[in-house]
Amino acid sequence: MRSLLRPLLCLLTLLLAPLAANAVRIKDLADFQGVRPNPLIGYGIVVGLQGTGDSPATLFANRSLAGLLAKLGIVVDPNRVNVTNVAAVMVTAELPPFARIGETLDVTVSSIGDSDNLQGGTLLATPLLGVNGEVFALAQGAVSIGGFSASTGQGDRVQQNHPTVGRIPGGALVERELPLPLENRKSMRLILHEKDFTTAARTALAVNEQIGIGTAHPSDAGTIEINIPDALRDNPVNFLARVEDIEVQPDRSAVVVLNERTGTIVIGSEVRLAAVAIAHGNLSVRISTRTAVSQPAPFAEVGTTVAFDNEEIVVQEQGSNLAVVQGVTIGELVRALNAIGASPRDLIAILQAIKAAGALHAELKII
């Protein structure tokens, strides 16, 4: 009995190894609903520029400067403000989930006037608003464009990166928290990044196997309802962390991605071809299918008779040798065509023709 058990265990290990290798954590497949960053936006001005700010034709930059000075007790006529070291900018940032008051955020500063360089500028205090119009952060600091721009009076110009867009690492302070209560919740929703019925069903099955029957059930192709046990509702963090760490083997659709501009071809491992004959220029491709039967060895204790399709690809080019590949996967077809020197553009044309003939069992995406 022990001598029979060892080969069975080895066989089971070999069968499960590919599944384990392709398993992905739920944390990398889905997000809990509501646990997401929130965009922030604000309008501000950058000062201290060396004559590279907005021109007087950009009215809002100088008017904003005049309004700011008025708040500081210095009243000036906006129509008489004529400076070139100030630029009007839009400031953007992302408020991460569970951000607390006093945390810092990275912000991006982008010119909206005719300023051609924000190098060396300083962003003055700018409120950052959420979609509800409330202030969630306050941004201020020196702008770093990560490059440079230099020019001469004769029109020569040297530039690296985009001098009209800059970053301020840690340039915003969180002033208001976005509440996301987890205590006393009966359930949470998992939202899959890629909507797929098979992946949703496998995810719910894996959660039920690891935690308990009835913990999860899929409501559609992209949503899984997770029930939080009564004993863990006061502190659900450990429970949700355990759910995130469960591994699932996601399912994928058969997709072929073509980029005609660069000649790039990306092919999924699930793509299959039906029997078809192809002629492209002086290339000749023939795909055929033969049905064969596999039987177990005589006197074998296990095994069954199985019928399967044995496919063959033959590729021929005038003046070249035949290339024969067993099997009919798209990868084998591409390797056979590459062996005789077919260019990426030839492959793209052939794949498009196979799809039009209905022999390519995959979605064809052209980017």
Helix (H, G, I), strand (E, B), or coil: what is residue 82?
coil
Q: For residue 206, how many other CB atoms are within 10 A of its CB?
A: 18
Higher pLDDT, 148 or 64: 64
- Which of 6-15, 182-191, 304-313 has the largest mean confidence? 182-191
Q: What pLDDT score does 156 carry?
A: 62
Alpha-carbon distances of 33 from 93, 188, 191, 287, rounded to whole Å: 21, 7, 6, 47
Q: What pLDDT score does 81 carry?
A: 79
Q: What pLDDT score does 235 carry?
A: 82
- Residues 304 and 290: beta-carbon distance below 8 Å: no
pLDDT in tens, 6-61: 443 343 343 344 444 478 999 999 999 989 899 999 999 999 998 888 888 888 88
CA atoms of 226 and 215, how far apart (whole Å): 6
Q: What pLDDT score does 344 carry?
A: 76
Alpha-carbon distances of 17 from 7, 115, 205, rounded to whole Å: 15, 59, 19
Q: How confident is the model at residue 3 (pLDDT cuts 50, 70, 90)?
A: very low
Question: Which neighbouring-strand residues pair with 266?
Answer: 257
Q: How confident is the model at residue 83 (pLDDT cuts 50, 70, 90)?
A: confident
Burial class (CB in 10 A: 0-12, 13-18, 19+), 313: buried
Residues 6+ apart with CB under 8 A from 188: 32, 33, 226, 228, 236, 240
Higher pLDDT, 365 or 108: 108
Summarize the confidence of residues 153-176 as an average pLDDT.
Answer: 82
Q: For residue 100, how many other CB atoms are within 10 A of its CB?
A: 7
Tokens 């990044």 -> residue: 193
Summarize the confidence of residues 55-81 as an average pLDDT.
Answer: 83
Length of the chain: 367
Following DSSP, what letter does each residue of 269-314 receive, concatenated? TT-EE-S-EEEETTEEEEEEEEEEEE-PPTT-SS---EEEEEEEEE
The 8-class DSSP code of residue 195 comes to: -
Higher pLDDT, 165 or 8: 165
CA atoms of 110 and 114, how far apart (whole Å): 11
- Residues 189 and 33: beta-carbon distance below 8 Å: yes
pLDDT in tens, 260-294: 788 788 887 778 777 767 666 666 666 666 666 66
Helices (H), 50-165: 59-71
Q: Would you say residue 120 has pLDDT above 60?
A: yes
Lowest-confidence pick of 139-148, 328-337, 358-367: 328-337
Summarize the confidence of residues 1-7 as an average pLDDT.
Answer: 42
Q: How confident is the model at residue 205 (pLDDT cuts 50, 70, 90)?
A: very high
**Tell me, what amino acid is at 102?**
G
Structure tokens at 347: 């492959």
- Residues 307 and 293: beta-carbon distance below 8 Å: yes
pLDDT in tens, 315-324: 665 544 433 4
- Which of 132-146, 262-276, 285-299, 320-334 has the largest mean confidence? 132-146
CA atoms of 366 and 347, how far apart (whole Å): 13
Q: For residue 250, how many other CB atoms are within 10 A of its CB?
A: 20
Q: How confident is the model at residue 217 (pLDDT cuts 50, 70, 90)?
A: very high
Q: pTM above the 0.75 mark?
A: no
Q: Would you say residue 304 has pLDDT above 80?
A: no
Helix (H, G, I), strand (E, B), or coil: what is residue 239?
helix
CA atoms of 275 and 286, how far apart (whole Å): 8
